[in-house]
Structure 1
Amino acid sequence: MPERSGAVAFMGNGLTLVGPEISVGDNAPDFSALDTNLNDRTLKDYAGRVLVIACVPSLDTPVCDMETRRFNTEAAALGDDIRILTVSMDLPFAQARWCGAAGVDAVETLSDHRDASFGLAWGALVKELRLLTRAVFVVDRKGVVRHVQYVPEITEEPDYEAALEAARKAAS
């Protein structure tokens, strides 16, 4: 599995991402993750829809909390053709608890805790922490990646507008 040393940083300290670097134009790699009801989810479950996939280290941290709440608010204006997924290493039970407490109901959370399938396939697994890095991907209806942002500093928020614009463009 490829490794990208220094690809991202946490509080200025370089970290290694494991897996291939995804680029615009790539076919979206498949993955397996658990939803909050412990059901397996794969890319095929979202076929024909535009996806905004936000991966975060943990919902129980301030920036991940803000990001997921922001995407939840934005989801209402995007329409039914666009789905927003947030993937983390948090256990499905913790994700369900967090969503309930935060009132997040328009974003679907997926847990990659079992085997890091998403993190490894999308080049988002932080080797040193066994957490996902902060990144946002947009996938069109045909399964082609239309937007990629690996946020260079994990403690910073992503470019929401760029991701949302890419999703709207992919849905039109």
Structure 2
Amino acid sequence: MATITLKGNKVHTTGSLPATGSKAPDFELTKTDLSHASLSDYSGKKTVLNVFPSIDTGTCAQSVRQFNEKAAKLDNTAVLCISKDLPFAQARFCGAEGIENVEMLSDFRDGNFGKAYNLEFSDGPLQSLLSRVVVVINENQEIVYTEQVPEIVDEPDYKAALEAITNA
């Protein structure tokens, strides 16, 4: 279990992130058109998982904007922005913001992604939502970088994630 903070108050996740060097756990998530996506859909690409509690918060929205601008410009790279928000809310946000370079995916159906990656909150006011995490996966679907943001209201380390993509 990981211990992080929400505005200074300790909260916990269901476990620890998968180890760097390990095979990325498969998942099935829902796209904004309600179709399904799995990790195998991105086989052969570098993949960034930008995970957050809700697109309706400032920090979460900013992470989507930042990855849309920066990481999505890299060759052979898919940037997946993942939350438990309904696909309709994710699509509305992207339409209003002009977000076109990342793919929004939802774990709302059964929470299998949050469980597979051990990043679901197990207590606190955000219980059952996903914690703020960045995972970079190489073309062989091996994890090459993870960041569990220690204070949930803070943004991830974009520079470190971008370096991991470049070096993957």
TM-score, length-scaled by structure 2: 0.94
Higher mean C-alpha displacement, 121-130 vs 145-154: 121-130
1:95 to 90, 96, 99: 90
Mark the CA change 1:151 to 1:76 in structure 2 (over 3 Å): closer, same or farther: closer
Instruction: Give the structure 1 partner of residue 149 of structure 2.
Output: 151
Instruction: Give the structure 1 partner of residue 167 of structure 2.
Output: 169
User: Is 1:130 aligned to residue 128 of structure 2?
Assistant: yes
Mark the CA change 1:39 to 1:19 in structure 2 (over 3 Å): closer, same or farther: farther
Offset, 1:21:
2.5
Question: Quick one: which amino acid aligns to residue 92 of structure 2?
Answer: R
Mark the CA change 1:76 to 1:50 in structure 2 (over 3 Å): closer, same or farther: closer
1:110 is paired with a residue of what secondary structure? strand
Offset, 1:123:
1.1
2:89 is paired with a residue of what secondary structure? helix
Offset, 1:63:
0.3
Question: Quick one: which amino acid aligns to residue 135 of structure 1?
Answer: V
Instruction: Give the structure 2 partner of residue 29 of structure 1.
Output: 25
Instruction: Give the structure 1 partner of residue 4 of structure 2.
Output: 8
Offset, 1:19:
4.0
Please, which runs of 5 or more residues in structure 2 have no aligned partner?
none
Question: Quick one: which amino acid aligns to residue 132 of structure 2?
Answer: R
2:147 is paired with a residue of what secondary structure? strand
Count of matched residue pairs:
165
| Greater fraction strand | 1
Instruction: Give the structure 2 partner of residue 71 of structure 1.
Output: 67
1:49 to 20, 45, 49: 45
Deviation sequence 1:28-87 (CA, Å, 0-9, x none): 0011110001111111111110001110011110000111100000134312x0110010
1:21 is paired with a residue of what secondary structure? coil
TM-score, length-scaled by structure 1: 0.92
Alpha-carbon contact 2:29-2:36 (below 8 Å) kept: yes
Alpha-carbon contact 1:23-1:145 (below 8 Å) kept: yes
Alpha-carbon contact 2:72-2:102 (below 8 Å) kept: no
Offset, 1:22:
1.4
Instruction: Give the structure 1 partner of residue 101 of structure 2.
Output: 106
Q: Distance in 2 between matches of 1:91 and 1:127?
A: 20
Q: CA RMSD in A?
A: 1.1
Please, which runs of 5 or more residues in structure 1 have no aligned partner?
none
